[in-house]
Structure formats: C-alpha cells, structure tokens
Structure 1
Amino acid sequence: MSKESYRKDKNGWSYICVRGTAAQRGYEHGRLLAEEIVTGIREAKELAILQTGLSWDCFLYDAGSILHKWREVLRREPYLEFYEEMEAIAEGVCSVRPEAGITVDDIILWNGFEELTNYWLPTTVDAIYERLPGQGGGRTRKHFISGAHDHCSAFIATGSYTADGRIVLAHNSFTPYENSNHSNVIQYVEPDKGYPFIMQSQPGYIHSMSDFYLTKTGKGQGLMISETTIGGFCAYEPEGVPEFARIRLAVQYADTLNLFVEKFWKHNNGGYANTWLVGDVGTNEIMRFEAGLKFFKVDKTTDGYYAGFNAPEDPRIRNLECDNCGYGDIRRHQGARQVRIPQLMERYKGAIDSGTAKQILSDHYDVYLGKENPCSRTVCSHYELDERAYMSQPGRPVPFQPRGAVDGLVAAAEDAESLALHARWGSSCGMPFYVEPFLEKHPQFNYLRPYLKDRPTRPWTRWEAEESGGTAQR
C-alpha cells in the first residue's frame, strides 16, 4: 500500500486519496475501490440489458459501438493520460479481484455509461438492431423522441447574495435509485501534472458524473464547478471526445473561467450536455456555461446567482437541440424549479452560506400546487411519492418511480480554499427510503428489487483534502 494513498469510510461515503502519475493514481484507485468497482460494473452490465435491451458485450464488441472511437481518441493527446489512468484502474482492480476480469474497456464503458445509453445509443439504435442476431429479419421503428434524461438541482451565488460576498455552490442529483447505488465516493486527486481537486464520484470513475468539483490552482485560488443536465437534449457527434474526458481535462488543467470553457468545448461531441455553473475563488466571479452541440452560451457576474434546473436559457439550444425540455412548464420539474430556486435565492439574499444552501437543497415547496409537497417538482425531489397526476409528458418518468435526490453537496469559497466540501448521502432533506415498504406498496417495480437499496437518514459530513504539500507540475 502506498503511504500516499488511502481510504476512509463514513456516513455512507467512501473517501479516497490518490496521488502521482496516471499509472500511480489509477492503480491505487483500482486497488482501494476494487470491490465497489466490480459490483458497479456487474450492476451496469445487468442494467444495460434491462434498460436498453442490449448487452454489455454488444457495447464491447459490436462493430458500430462507440467504444472503438472513444478508445481511439483517448489514446491521443491531450487525453492519453486519462486512458493510462483507466488502464491502471483496471490493473488495480485485478490485483485484488483477478477473477473478475475487469479490463480497460470495461472501465471506459463504465465511465461513459450515461453518455453511452442516453446520448449515443438513440442516434444509432436502428443500425444496431439490424445487426443483432435473432429469429427473424426486419427493421425497428424505435425512436427516442423524448431526448436525454435530466438529473439535478443546483445554484451558484456571489456578491450581495451571499453572507460574506464570496461564492457559494450547491448541487443535488436526481437519479433513478437503481442507477445511483455507487455515487457515494469522494475522490481527492493530486496529479503530477495540472492542479489538485476533490470531487464527488463513483468507483472506477476518472470524472465526477454527478459533477461537483473543487480545484486548487494556487493560494486562495481555484475553481468551484457543478452543473445540471439539459433535459430533452438530442444532438450528438460521434466523432468527438466523450464528455467524461473533456470535463476531466478542464477540471485538472483550467485555472480561469475562460480556460475552463476552452478546454471543455474543444472536441465537443454533445455527450451529457449540461448547464455548467463555475466560480473563480480568487475573483468571486461566477459563470453559467450552457454547452450544447453546435451552440454554447456564457454568462458571467460578480454580483448575482445562476440556477440550474435542467432546461437551457439559450433559445438556440432549447429549440434546435432539445425535444420537449420542460422549460417554463411548472407541471414538470424543470419549469417548477425554474420558478422555485429564484424564489429561494431572493428569500435568502445576503445570507446564503453553506448552512442556508443545505436548506435550499432540502426545499419541498411545490409551485404548481402552491403548497409543501415533496414530489418530482421540488428542489429536493421525491418521484417515489409522486402519482404524476399532472404529467405533461406521459411516461417520463412513470408514477411513483423510485427516483429522486440521492445526495446533497455544498461548498463556500472558504471551504474551497482548503478543498473541502459538505456532503450528504441520501435525500438532501434526510427523508429515508426503504425498499420493502416501497415495493409492497408499488409492486410494479419488483423487477428492480436487486438494484434498490435502503437509503436511511444520514448526516451532512465535511470532507477536506489532506494535501501532501508538494508542487505539481503544471
């Protein structure tokens, strides 16, 4: 065991510290989280067939799989170190669980699972269907008209909106519970090149995916980074670079807001399209960066806030690259939070800090019904409680789907200076979820039983990086 790497477990979270070259940090990552990586990939393989009808082997070996293009672009600069890191993660896993047979291709697909199933696959499902062996011929008429899924609530605030005039960042993840069993990893990464950072993540991931990062680019300097997905997004360019590699490059090497945009946007493929909320700790300037495929929009301020609610403000992205994104529809969670988050920002104006940020993430006010009502439309979402009586888009998601806010992440600028964050595993508000009572009431979801886990109430926990004090090569 390297004295520079270690693991801690507390309040539902697993925290790992890895340092060094791509090979060093990857190997230690794989070794420290081997059991969780094996379990996570096994569940992903089973969920792939359950949710798409296609096997993991199809994604690995089909001639048209995007994996082959991803592997090619990841072996080129400036992304090569991330491929080497993923190779080393697989090696670290195999040092503990050799019988599992985890390969670098498994790690790549695992890192890109969201993009694989919700961005690339809808563009090519007809061609894949024609190549599948079966009992007959023919073509499919399957179409993914609803666009990409949407996942989060978030805000970033600065200036007169915060208690000390500095930046506050907050985020929670809206996710089907069966897909979020492993988002309880906090990684501190101190690379030999670039800047150290801390992030919420998953075992085996080189990026966050739930997307909460703090970076340290100098004394009192760094970036605070989060996002919300753009719901209904349906544009994709398979020749580009997967989002998980582009965001990792921007996180590890950008020291300004402009450089973050530049590094993320280069080789853009539209995968996992997001509204990025980024703050500069040194200048207190914050940015909203809406990144589509052909279009992007950047807004900045040193006095104000930006809210993330899964719908884009840019009318080009909203109308030309999305299908029914829910913008302005308060029957939907996008439109409802488009109204509610600004209400909360004004209520707490001048007092927003890490404590009030936790309260905002825990909010259960339903603007459509005008009352406290934890449901799909609230900042802390609870789809499992929602009969979806007011759906404007039937089937997305279905009534009482086991889905909702599975975490809460908060950081103020003073936290970011020491690479520290406040995290809650489980619903942002602390409301528990227990599998057996839920399935007894909603047996239509029994098919998900193997993948649903109890989510008891857990406390907020502050995680802080323990830096080595060394100077990384830029």
Structure 2
Amino acid sequence: MKIKTTLLLCACTAALFFGCKSKPEKTDRLGKATREDKNGWIYVHLAGSPADIGYQHGYLVAKEIDTLIKVMQYYLPSASGKDWAFYRAASQRFLWKKINKEYQDEIKGIAEGLQARGLKYDTLDITALNANIELSQYYVAALDNKAKPGSGDNKAPGNCSAFIATGSFTKDHKIVIGHNNWTDYIEGERWNVIADIRPEKGNHILMDCAPGFIHSGDDFVVSKSGILITETTITGFKGFDTTRTPEFVRARKAAQYANSIDDVVKIMTTDNNGGYANDWLIGDTKTNEVAKLELGLKDYKVWRSKDTAIIGSNFPSDPKLIKEETTFDVNNKTSSPNARRLRMEKLVAVDYKGKLDEANGKVIEGDTYDALNGKNAYNRCVIDGHVEEDPLGCKEWSEGPFFPMGAVQGKVSSAALAKNMQLWAHMGHPGGADFLAAPFFKKHPEYFKTQGKYLRDMKAYPWTLFSAN
C-alpha cells in the first residue's frame, strides 16, 4: 500500500511539474457536457460556471473551432484587406476590456479547452473569432471612411431572411418565428452548432452558433424565460464606436438574462457600439407580444404588437436612421432586401395569414420564388438566397455577381416548442438545394485563388428537431 501511495504522489507531482492535465481534472471540467453529431449539426450540451462552459465548448468542438479560425486566417485578408494579426490586435486594444468578467471567463475557458486538445489558441483568437463580423464589416469600414470618406460605405452585409408573427397571423394565435442565415459559403457551411447552455446565472438557452462563438452570431435564440430572438442586418449601415461594448457581448447577455422584450431592448441599446447593426425580432411567449428593435449606433426605434407579422430581409424602416446612418436606397425595387421584402410580406401577411405554424415557417425560409420576375429562381432576390447562381448583381452588394454565398441554414420555432426548449434546424439551403464547390470553381476559376483551400460542398440536410437537455 505504501509503494502504491508513493507512486501516485510521484505521478501527481510529475503531472503538476510538466503541466499535464490528469483525466480526473478533464472529467470534472467536462461535467455532464455532451456532443452529438446529427444531420450536419453539432449539438452540444454545456453547463456550469462560465469557465467550465467555455472549456466544455472548446474541448468538445476543438476540431471545428480550429478549422474555422484557419478559414478566417486564410480568407479575411482577401475579404477585408486585414490579416488575423490585425483582428487580434483590435481585440487586445479595445474589445477585451469591454467584455465583462463572466464572458471573459467563458472565452478563457474555450481557449483552455482547445489547449487541452493540443491546439495553441488564446483568448485573443477566440475574441477575434467572436467579433469577426463587427470588426471586418463595421470597424474596418469605419477606418476606411475616416481615411477616405465614402470608401467604407455599403460594407455592412445584407444577409438573412426572417419573420416573427403572433395573434391573427398564426394558426394557434401564438408566436411563430423563423430565420435563415446568409453568409459566405466558405464559413457559413461551418456555422453548424446547436448550443444548449445551462449557465450558473441567468436563463437556460438553446441557440445556433458558429464553432467557438459565445453568442449565436446569426442570432436565433430560445430562452427558458420564454423569450425568442432573431435578427437581420441593416444593409448599407455605417458607424462604429470602439469605446463601447461589442455587439457579441450584448447579444449573449440579452439571450441569457432577458426576461421581457423591454429587457432585450435595454441590454442591446446600453453602451451600444454600432457593430453588427440589426433589426432585432423579439417575442415574449408569456405575453404573446412580438417586437422589432431597429438598432443603429445613434438611432433606434421599437415597434411592438400582440397581433402582427414582422419580417426582416435587411431593409431599415425608420426614416431618421435611414437618413443619418445608412446608404440604403429605399426606392431600388431590384435590390435584394427590397425584393425579398416584397415576397415575404405576401407570404406572411397574405398567403399564410391565420395559418402560420412551424411547418409552413420551414416552407417560407426555403422559398425560392422571385417576386420581381414572377418565377422560381436561384438568385439573391429570393428568400433562400443563391448568390452563386445570380448573373445580375445588385447595387448594394460589393462582391458582384456569381459570388459563393447565400442561405446556409435555417431555423424555426414557436411558443409551443419554446415551452419545451425546442427548435427546428436545417443545415444547408433550407429549400433543399446543394452547393457543389467543384462545378462552381470550373465556371468561376477566379475564386479559386482566394477560396480554393477551404470552400467545400454544402449539402442540404433534412429539417431536424433539437431539444435542450
């Protein structure tokens, strides 16, 4: 017995000296965390302290986080003109100090989980990953505009198609919500995590996110408090304040701590940095009320009702915000946001009025009818966008025609599902079409230089019901 004890002490001393992590320590930090791969999605159940939630995320999704950071390191220089070192430096210079300790601890935990799997990432890598949208498309644009006025305009993305409805617009007169995420396929095909997070403080949340994100990012959240949240970006928005709280921090805080529509509005508008400016669609299943928060940097406006259908397709609505903070052309009927608005308004307010439920919510998010030309099509003017197929181009899009991006996944939920912490999710084009990289590169070889290493096929999987653990 004495020999065994001595050997155990020696082993423990060696482990401490060489920085090794023993199996019991890993088991303790992982707790009851789980991972399940299903129909293109990675479902993870995470629970505990902020540091442990982060560690579980980093450890269980290490391979995919590693790949996504490598994609960003490879792709961002051509997409934004700035390399990964620039984004790390911005994270250190002004982002990190504006992240509250709870989420700093979670970010540190993600880095530690990655390190436990032999990957050499730190908190700045994870911060830059979480802030990549607001940095690359808002901060960089603000720098460009400062150096040369107007040069950073129109860089804010026009991505995503969403709706939220209640009252006489839905089948059961309760809330139904849907969203599809538009982004570049090179990263969007990897936006495939369903995070079931049970934190020590705040509300249990179920959301989609990209690997390594502490927030949803494209934003689709079901909260135990009965709050439902999604959004679409404001096209052509300009404005960013480095002294205020990052959007990704406010979005996670709203998901975790909001118990009402007023809470969401307060959290998102407090110390707002203007990053990732959105039309936020919010529902409270306790009151059956829905709202839209249109949030810029200087301006914001809220619309709310217990009997309405609200849509989002990247168009701003408040005349003051449009004039002061965007370059959006409300009169350009051929733009993607306005064309999709035309189609979505018909679907939610006419065709499906009084019949909206989870089933036809899925149909809406996968719709490929071009309302401008009166036919089914694969282009950027349909709800389930296919920019890689579109020969026309739109003025508010800087990438030009035939760019490999569009709808990469979709989600739908309802008051009934939210009661049980559930949502439907679809990886790949919600309408069921596959994107194949090889044929695209054959037609458009100019993209191979900047995307050939990581752009891959994006298969459409079936709609899948996910439930919180």
Whether the TM-score (by the shorter chain) exceeds 0.5 is yes
CA distance in 1, matches of 2:148, 2:276: 25
Letter in 1 for 2:74: E
Indicate the residue corresponding to 2:96 in structure 1: 71
What are the residue-to-residue correspondences of 1:41-60 with 2, within 5 Å?
41-60=69-88
Indicate the residue corresponding to 2:453 in structure 1: 450
1:116 equivalent in alignment to 2:144 = no
Indicate the residue corresponding to 2:67 in structure 1: 39
Output one character per residue of 1:417-465: Cα deviation in whole Å (capped at 9) or x when no partner.
1111100000010111111111112222212111211112310000000
Alignment equivalent of 1:437, drawn from 432, 436, 439: 439
What are the residue-to-residue correspondences of 1:159-170 with 2, within 5 Å?
159-170=167-178
Indicate the residue corresponding to 1:132 in structure 2: none
Letter in 2 for 1:202: A
1:84 equivalent in alignment to 2:105 = yes
- Whether the 8 Å CA contact 1:66–1:238 is kept in 2: the answer is no
- Whether the 8 Å CA contact 2:145–2:152 is kept in 1: the answer is no
Indicate the residue corresponding to 1:338 in structure 2: 341
CA distance in 2, matches of 1:82, 1:232: 30
Alignment equivalent of 1:459, drawn from 456, 462, 468: 462
TM-aligned CA distance change 1:101 to 1:377, over 3 Å: same
Task: Tell me the SS of whatever aligns to 2:453.
Answer: helix
1:242 equivalent in alignment to 2:246 = yes
Letter in 2 for 1:429: G
Letter in 1 for 2:305: T
Question: What is the CA distance between 1:73 and its match in structure 2?
Answer: 1.5
Task: Tell me the SS of whatever aligns to 1:406.
Answer: strand
TM-aligned CA distance change 1:399 to 1:155, over 3 Å: same
Gaps of 5+ in 1: 128-138, 467-474
CA distance in 2, matches of 1:311, 1:349: 22
Task: Tell me the SS of whatever aligns to 1:450.
Answer: coil
What are the residue-to-residue correspondences of 1:346-385 with 2, within 5 Å?
346-385=350-389
Question: What is the CA distance between 1:388 and its match in structure 2?
Answer: 1.2
Indicate the residue corresponding to 1:195 in structure 2: 203
CA distance in 2, matches of 1:176, 1:319: 28
- Whether the 8 Å CA contact 1:311–1:318 is kept in 2: the answer is no
TM-aligned CA distance change 1:326 to 1:422, over 3 Å: farther
- Whether the 8 Å CA contact 1:66–1:120 is kept in 2: the answer is no
What is the percent sequence identity of the aligned residues? 36
Letter in 1 for 2:121: I
Indicate the residue corresponding to 1:316 in structure 2: 320
1:105 equivalent in alignment to 2:124 = yes
CA distance in 2, matches of 1:452, 1:417: 38
Indicate the residue corresponding to 2:274 in structure 1: 270
- Whether the 8 Å CA contact 1:311–1:326 is kept in 2: the answer is no
Question: What is the CA distance between 1:327 and its match in structure 2?
Answer: 2.9
Output one character per residue of 1:187-245: Cα deviation in whole Å (capped at 9) or x when no partner.
0000000000000001111001010000012xxxx101000000100011111110000
Question: What is the CA distance between 1:121 and its match in structure 2?
Answer: 1.2
TM-aligned CA distance change 1:81 to 1:102, over 3 Å: same
CA distance in 2, matches of 1:110, 1:28: 17
1:7 equivalent in alignment to 2:35 = yes
How many residues are aligned here?
439
TM-aligned CA distance change 1:373 to 1:95, over 3 Å: same
Question: What is the CA distance between 1:89 and its match in structure 2?
Answer: 0.6
CA distance in 2, matches of 1:451, 1:265: 37
Letter in 2 for 1:427: H
Output one character per residue of 1:83-127: Cα deviation in whole Å (capped at 9) or x when no partner.
110001100110012xx3100010000000000100111222488
Alignment equivalent of 2:292, drawn from 272, 288, 297: 288
TM-aligned CA distance change 1:126 to 1:376, over 3 Å: closer
CA distance in 1, matches of 2:129, 2:47: 22
Alignment equivalent of 2:406, drawn from 404, 407, 410: 404
Name whichever structure is richer in helix by fraction: 2
Indicate the residue corresponding to 2:18 in structure 1: none
TM-aligned CA distance change 1:110 to 1:66, over 3 Å: closer
TM-aligned CA distance change 1:265 to 1:142, over 3 Å: closer
- Whether the 8 Å CA contact 1:420–1:463 is kept in 2: the answer is yes
CA distance in 2, matches of 1:374, 1:326: 23
TM-aligned CA distance change 1:167 to 1:149, over 3 Å: same
Indicate the residue corresponding to 2:9 in structure 1: none
Task: Tell me the SS of whatever aligns to 2:462.
Answer: coil
Gaps of 5+ in 2: 1-26
Indicate the residue corresponding to 2:221 in structure 1: 213
Letter in 2 for 1:344: L
Letter in 1 for 2:124: D
CA distance in 1, matches of 2:35, 2:151: 44
Question: What is the CA distance between 1:162 and its match in structure 2?
Answer: 0.6
- Whether the 8 Å CA contact 2:153–2:237 is kept in 1: the answer is no
TM-aligned CA distance change 1:305 to 1:15, over 3 Å: same
Letter in 2 for 1:433: F
Indicate the residue corresponding to 2:12 in structure 1: none
Larger deviation: 327-336 or 52-61?
52-61
Task: Tell me the SS of whatever aligns to 1:451.
Answer: coil
TM-aligned CA distance change 1:126 to 1:210, over 3 Å: closer
Question: What is the CA distance between 1:300 and its match in structure 2?
Answer: 0.6
TM-aligned CA distance change 1:106 to 1:397, over 3 Å: same
Runs of at least 4 residues off by over 6 Å:
139-142
CA distance in 2, matches of 1:336, 1:315: 19
Query: TM-score by structure 2 length?
Result: 0.91
- Whether the 8 Å CA contact 1:30–1:91 is kept in 2: the answer is yes
TM-aligned CA distance change 1:307 to 1:141, over 3 Å: closer
CA distance in 1, matches of 2:251, 2:326: 21
Alignment equivalent of 1:21, drawn from 35, 38, 49: 49
